[in-house]
Amino acid sequence: MLLAFALAFQAGTAQLMASSPAPDSVTRRDSAAVYSGRLGQLNVQALRLERADVVVDGVLEDAAWSKAALLTGFSTYSPVDGRPAQDSTEVRLFYTAEAMYIAIRAWAPPGTVRATLAERDRISNDDWIAVHFDTFNDRRRAFVFGVNPLGIQADGMRSEQSAGPGVSRASLGAADLTQDYVWQSKGRLLDDGFAVEIRIPFKSVRFQLGAPQDWGLQVVRQTQRNGYQVTWAPTSRARQSFGVQAGYLRGMRDMKRGVVLDVTPVATLRTSGAPDSTRDAWRYGTQEQFGADVRWGVTSNFTLNATANPDFSQVETDVGQIPGDPRFALFFPELRPFFVEGSEQFDAPNRLVYTRRIVNPRVAAKLTGKIPRTDIGLLTAVDGAEFSADGSTNPIFNILRVRRDIGDESTAGLLFTDRSEGAQYNRVGGFDTRLQFRRMYSVEARVHGSATRERGARRDGSMLEFNTGRTGRSYGYRYGVMAVSPDFEARSGFVNRTDFVRGQVNQRWTRFGRKGGWWDQQQNFLTATTLWSWDDFSGGMPPLENRVSLDNTFTLRGGWRVGVQPEVQAIAFDPRRYSALGVVRGSDTVAFEPSGRQTLGAVQFQVNSPQWRYAGVTLQSTLGRDPDFFETATVTRRDMDLAVDMRPSPQVRVGLLVRYQHYGRVRDGTRLSEQVVPRLRLEYQFTRALFFRFIGQLESRSRDALRDPRTDAPILERSSAGAWTPIAARQSLLARADWLVQYLPSPGTVVFMGYGNALDASLSNRPGDLRPRADGFFVKLSYLFRAGVPRRAMAGP
């Protein structure tokens, strides 16, 4: 079915592609043409050689490099745009029928380059250079191939929607690095900088049909000693889009992917243990699992992935999060290989597609690709029956995402998701569009509805959103309104709150320091939010929440960032959320009455140090008063998030993360809750492919028995049988230690050997009383078979 779907679209557009005119191209000036970004020479004529004769070793002495196109003239982008780059960078590139070749020469003052023998995709604290290839030339997404000075790889897909708040649109954090491709790279540190060579097989990327074709091209360099990012194609912070400002690689033709067929068999052995309550011993059970993943490049622009009995063993625990607001669920990112590949085709607003809802699929398949100006993603999966309502019916997921390019920067998309268990189902469908015009203005509209059938009854819900904004260099704004009805449900997505109508206003002012001054950028970001319940808004009632905050962020010379964010909020508690609670008054149990509206203030502080040669530090803290949604009272809030990244040698990395949060009752000074989550991550990289990792994490959580803020009487909770019981104090002290040895010569070929141990001291809440409650050992073996490629050409040197 998936293949027929692809071929139908393919046939329907063949005539359109055949009749499309060839794009304009520039005339090559000589055998080693130079293209300066600062001079506006952004149309790079692609050079095709019959043979490469290049050894990927980081030594730029092969004869082919003297013929390659040369990119120079980089400009600053962050924290200040439009200035000449402080350090010189040269990038050379050419291609053969099978692969793209890239040589990087980056200059820097002696002793200033940051480089470690890092784990794959974890080079953001080093100096790095990333090459962006927009292979469909749609100016909306691009393959990202990043390297640090030693050639350690970071790769993924960058889309215009992927950069999170506070993340530079040029940084690696703006790309989805969970996707891994097979390519080769090698780098060397030099006295005056570094050099890297790269080979990217065309088998590893998707690109448009037809010839000749143009690709979007951008190069980004990060220098840690001063915190600056520079780009080859000059990029303005005033533009709404980052990708549309890239240059071009013109006249690509005659690329031969051959048969694109990857088969990855996977074998896993797990042994899990737990204390036996009937005797002083442990019970152990062993489980073997065999499966396989298949990737087939149907055409150069469509890929079919399938998996049978897949293994999604977790090799790294999710970082402990502090659930400060009980109204919202915690979000954890998708890291499983089958789902992350091609995940950009399923980008949907408001996280309406969240593949971690497919917990343990028995089989799954997906088709991803692009025909002219239209992206298509189709996924089908059969989940384990243990995750169904009755425990015996396998949930079936179907997700379809179609998105159409409009003009140079705008899009419109359709989404349909379905999760079915026999006659029961949850379905979501809708339309979204993003229209950009005059380079810095945008309008977004999103309309989605859900239909849920459960226990013979059906309920329908809706989600509506409208935003408009301006992105200017010195001034920008964003105004928006969003409404989610009480019955809206997305069981294939992640929607952590329903039953609200929210209006929001954002205003941004940015100033830039003079060249050579003590500060580079100052940004003030004013946010005002008003929120109603769905019924209160339609009934003309006052809002439940009003918030105003002013985020003041300063980027100082040398890479320091300092932020101060005061916030004032007025909160009213929705009585419907407390309908199952009661308190004792006299001899009767009466309904619990939430407290009245509260006006509160707090201040958040944040400091980010530069990435020094051996360490970097981030500290974030909040002080002030907050609403407590358990007792509906006012609490004093003190929290801290400290992250320290240490690199005592190129092979050793130590990461320390401490999260702390304390809520104290204002009315009597007693502690309501306290949570502490320290985490240690220790890594030793023997070689690029072989490393050892230890992760230790402790989670201490405590919450006092809940009391009525008016009378101090215990708050009671009514069970389904109608009995009232006090909401007692809770405490937990959990610890976990995970050890892993990993051999990963290339994506898909891995050997994992790991041991995990969970400990518990919740009864006493004393670290000295920690006792094992579970442990497990696992071995995972997988091997990537790639049709038509020698094994030595797949390993990253």
User: Which sequence spans correspond to the domains of the chain?
Assistant: 24-252, 333-498
Contact between residue 344 and residue 355 where contact means Cβ atoms under 8 Å apart: no
Q: Find out whether the peptide bond into 79 is cis, omega within 30 degrees of 0.
A: yes
pLDDT of residue 6: 45
Burial of 313 (0-12, 13-18, 19+ CB in 10 A): middle
- Nearest Cα neighbor of 178 from 207, 206, 144 is 144
Rg, the chain, Cα only: 28
In the chain, pLDDT over 90 holds for what percent of residues?
A: 76
Banded model confidence at residue 791, pLDDT cuts 50, 70, 90: low
Contact between residue 488 and residue 450 where contact means Cβ atoms under 8 Å apart: yes
Banded model confidence at residue 165, pLDDT cuts 50, 70, 90: low
Element (H, E) at 5: helix 2-19
In DSSP terms, 590 is beta-bridged to 583
pLDDT of residue 217: 98
Tokens 């989805």 found at: 176
Question: What is the DSSP secondary-structure string of 741-776?
Answer: EEEEEETTEEEEEEEEEEEE-TTT--GGG-EEEEEE
- Secondary structure of residue 340 in the 3-state scheme: helix
In DSSP terms, 603 is beta-bridged to 566, 623
| Cβ neighbours, 10 Å, residue 591 | 12
Mean pLDDT of the chain: 90
Lowest mean pLDDT among 4-8, 172-176, 191-195: 4-8
The model's pLDDT over 330-360, given as tens digits with 9 standing for 90+, comes to 567 787 778 888 899 999 999 999 998 998 8
The model's pLDDT over 32-77, given as tens digits with 9 standing for 90+, comes to 699 999 999 999 999 999 988 899 999 999 999 999 999 999 999 9
Q: Return d(Cα 680, Cα 52) in angstroms, integer.
A: 45
Tokens 């191209």 found at: 25
- Secondary structure of residue 259 in the 3-state scheme: coil
In the chain, pLDDT over 70 holds for what percent of residues?
A: 91
Residue 13 has pLDDT above 90, yes or no: no
φ/ψ (deg, to 5) at 3: -65, -40
Q: Can you tell me the mean pLDDT for 615-629?
A: 96
Question: What is the DSSP secondary-structure string of 584-602?
Answer: EETTEEEE------EEEEE
The model's pLDDT over 771-782, given as tens digits with 9 standing for 90+, comes to 999 999 999 999
Q: How do strand 34-36 and strand 69-72 relate by DSSP bridges?
A: parallel
Residue 325 has pLDDT above 70, yes or no: no
Banded model confidence at residue 18, pLDDT cuts 50, 70, 90: very low
The model's pLDDT over 501-513, given as tens digits with 9 standing for 90+, comes to 999 999 999 999 9
Q: Which fold has domain 24-252?
A: Immunoglobulin-like (2.60.40)
Dihedral angle, C-alpha 687, 691, 692, 696, nearest 10 °: 120
- Nearest Cα neighbor of 41 from 28, 59, 60, 51 is 28
Dihedral angle, C-alpha 158, 160, 162, 164, nearest 10 °: 130
Residue 263 has pLDDT above 90, yes or no: yes
C-alpha distance from residue 220 to each of 146, 351, 383, 449, 760 (Å): 9, 28, 41, 40, 47
